[in-house]
Amino acid sequence: MNGPEVLIVGAGPIGIELAVRLRRERISYEQVDAGQIGSTISWYAPQTQFFSSPERIAIAGVPLQTLDQSKATREEYLTYLRSVVLQFDLKVETGVRVNAITRGDDGFVVTAFGRDGERKRTAQNVVLAIGDMHRPHLLGVPGEDLPHVSHFFGDPHAYFRRQVLVVGGRNSAVEAAIRCVRVAAIVTLSYRAAELDPKHVKPWLLPEINAMIRDSRMTFLPGTTLREITPAHVVLDPGGRRIDADSVLLLTGYEQDSSLFESAGVTLVGPQRRPRFNEATMETDVPGLYVAGTAAAGTQVSGTTAFIETSHIHVDRIAAALKGEPAPVETQAYAVPEQ
Ligand SMILES: Cc1cc2nc3c(=O)[nH]c(=O)nc-3n(C[C@H](O)[C@H](O)[C@H](O)COP(=O)(O)OP(=O)(O)OC[C@H]3O[C@@H](n4cnc5c(N)ncnc54)[C@H](O)[C@@H]3O)c2cc1C
């Protein structure tokens, strides 16, 4: 079968780190991404700060410097990813979405859709570095598809002096609520749990939001769930309480699209639908098909455990497996995330 030794699907931080590694090892590869490089990070709200420290999300041995020696922002990290791609002259075919993968006798046939329409490509091995945040977790409430309802927090300016209902109680929701208050929005935060959990909120955000709630700068409604959204208000349970809302932000998490794993015949395990793979090599139960980055976690249903910093080792494992070398030993520093 023709084609490169490896096709990398996805050019997020881990897909890019793997590309640098394969280039250094002189292993032939091609790389495609459905969007732009770093596209998952590109949809963070402007100036969102990573919670991981810069050195833990730096890739390929290239230092990540930030303006104020603090955590990198979305903009700093996207600049960094572009620089890494330029520095190593990586060829990423952007705007190419892989739709199906089938295994033949001596490699893979990959169906991808790009500028030229649908095209079949071949590769001896495939690495899925596709991430785990492909679509929002839908609540399934009436009105969820109305135009003033979004599952993504974009530019806070859009919420200036608007009545905003934010649903959720983890990092994304808490950060959106704080930033909306700071752009003079009238904010209500609805969360199904009884209180905000420090395990799920960046340590520097928790005191900020608690002070805003205490000082009545926003309304916090713990123990509430959304029953319905109308163009002018929402209805919350218990009790059917009505809250006026010009904008509704449903920040309740994201799900992985596991259709590529399914099309290739990878076994999906547990409620996360986590691909089955060998921890030492990252090879799935389809020989020659590997998984890297947060894609290995499936949908992170009960708290996030897979991050950029815990995924660098995937690159070492895949490179070793492709070269037929023993699996690398994981360093303690990155085995668990910093926070
Ligand atoms: C607001 C916010 C803050 C965050 N902060 C942090 C943090 O501090 N630290 C941290 O580690 N993580 C953080 N995350 C999560 C972070 O975005 C992920 O950990 C990181 O992006 C994972 O990198 P990855 O390379 O594994 O996958 P991704 O960055 O998700 O890259 C996957 C790539 O695959 C492409 N792709 C997907 N499907 C296909 C397909 N079928 N065909 C072709 N291409 C495809 C996508 O376009 C994407 O570019 C945060 C997330 C959010 C929303």
Predicted confidence (pLDDT) per residue in 157-202, tens digit = 999 999 999 999 999 999 999 999 999 999 999 999 999 999 889 8
Judge contact between 248 and 134, C-beta under 8 A: no
The answer on pLDDT for 337 being more than 80 is no
Indicate whether 130 and 177 sit together in one domain.
no
Indicate whether 11 and 96 sit together in one domain.
yes
Residue at 270 is within a domain: yes
Whole-number Å distance, alpha carbon 326 to ligand 1 midpoint, is: 28
Judge contact between 260 and 128, C-beta under 8 A: yes
Indicate whether 62 and 122 sit together in one domain.
yes
Whole-number Å distance, alpha carbon 135 to ligand 1 midpoint, is: 12
Residue at 158 is within a domain: yes
Query: Tell me, what's the pLDDT at 163?
Result: 98
Q: At 14, phi and psi to the nearest 5? A: -75, -40
As a whole number, mean pLDDT of residues 25-34 equals 98
Query: Tell me, what's the pLDDT at 1?
Result: 67
Residues whose CB falls within 8 Å of the CB of residue 70, separated by 6 or more in sequence, listed in order: 49
Please work out whether the CB of residue 290 comes within 6 Å of at least one atom of ligand 1: no
Q: pLDDT tens digits for 76-88?
A: 999 999 999 999 9
Indicate whether 61 and 90 sit together in one domain.
yes
**Total number of domains in the chain:** 2
The CA angle 222-273-196, to the nearest 5 degrees, is 15
Indicate whether 183 and 79 sit together in one domain.
no
Smallest CA-to-CA distance from 202 within 71, 14, 42 is with: 71
Residue 103 corresponds to which amino acid? R
Whole-number Å distance, alpha carbon 245 to ligand 1 midpoint, is: 30
Indicate whether 124 and 262 sit together in one domain.
yes
Q: Whose CA is nearest to atom 5 of ligand 1?
A: 50
To the nearest whole percent, how much of the chain has pLDDT over 70? Answer: 98
Q: Where among 196, 224, 250 does a domain terminate?
A: 250
Please work out whether the CB of residue 11 comes within 6 Å of at least one atom of ligand 1: yes
Supply the range of the domain harboring residue 108: 6-135+254-335
Judge contact between 239 and 227, C-beta under 8 A: no
Token pair in block for residue 246: 């010009």
Residue at 1 is within a domain: no
